[in-house]
Amino acid sequence: MNKKIEDLCNRQVEREGYSSNLYLAMASWAENKGYPGIAAWLYAQAEEERIHFLKFIKYINERGGHAVIPAFKQPPVEYKNVQKLFDEVLKHEQFITSSINEIVAATLTEKDFNTNNFLQWFLTEQVEEEASVRTIIDKLKMVGAESLYIFDRDIITLRTPATGQAAG
C-alpha cells in the first residue's frame, strides 16, 4: 500500500489503541469512585476501541503494509467528576473523528479508493459515537448529584441502536 496512507493508518493504530486504554483508565476511576454502571459503560467502550485498533492492524497487513504496535502514553489517572470525564470522552471522540477525516482526505489525493472504502465504516461509527456521548452529557446536565446513583444504574441501557452495542 501507498507509504503515506500506511503511515496515516499506523498513526490511527496508535490512536485507537490509546482510546481503548483511555477508556480503561476512566473505567477504573469510575469503579473506584463507586459508579459501577459508568464503569461498565466505559469498559464496553474500551472493548469497542480495541476492535477498532485490531481492524486497522489487520487492514494494513492485508494490504501488504506493516502494522506497527506502538508504545502508548499513560492516560490520566484522575478525573475531576463524572461530567468532566464525559466532556473528555466527547473531546477525544471529536479528535478521533478529525483524525479519520484526515486519512479519508489523503485517500482521495492519493487515489487509494480501497482504503477510502475501508474508512467509510469508521465515519459512520464516529457519528454514532459522538451522538451517543452527547446524549449522555445532556442527561447528566439534567441530573443533580443525588440522582447520579440512578444515572449510574441506567447508563448501561444507553446503547447505539445501529449496533446494539455500547457506543465505542
**How buried is residue 36: exposed, middle or buried, by Cβ count under 10 Å (0-12/13-18/19+)?**
middle
Is the Cβ of residue 95 or residue 149 nearer to ligand FEO in the bound state?
95
Cβ contacts of 167 within 8 Å, gap of 6 or more: 45, 48, 128, 129, 132, 133, 158, 159, 160
Residue 10 contacts ligand FEO per CB under 6 A = no
Question: Binder to ligand FEO among 9, 13, 18, 19 (CB under 6 A)?
Answer: 19
Question: Binder to ligand FEO among 6, 16, 112, 152 (CB under 6 A)?
Answer: 16
Scanning residues 56 to 85, which ones bind ligand FEO (CB under 6 A)? Answer: none
Is the Cβ of residue 89 or residue 148 nearer to ligand FEO in the bound state?
89
56: enclosing H helix or E strand: helix 36-62
The CB-of-129 to ligand FEO minimum distance in angstroms stands at 5
Question: Binder to ligand FEO among 1, 27, 96, 106 (CB under 6 A)?
Answer: 96
**What does the alpha-carbon distance between residue 72 and residue 35 come to, in Å, rounded to a whole number?**
26
Question: Binder to ligand FEO among 39, 106, 112, 129 (CB under 6 A)?
Answer: 129
User: What end-to-end distance do the CA atoms of the chain give, in Å?
Assistant: 28
Number of residues that bind ligand FEO (CB under 6 A): 8
Interaction site with ligand FEO (CB under 6 A): 16, 19, 49, 52, 93, 96, 129, 168
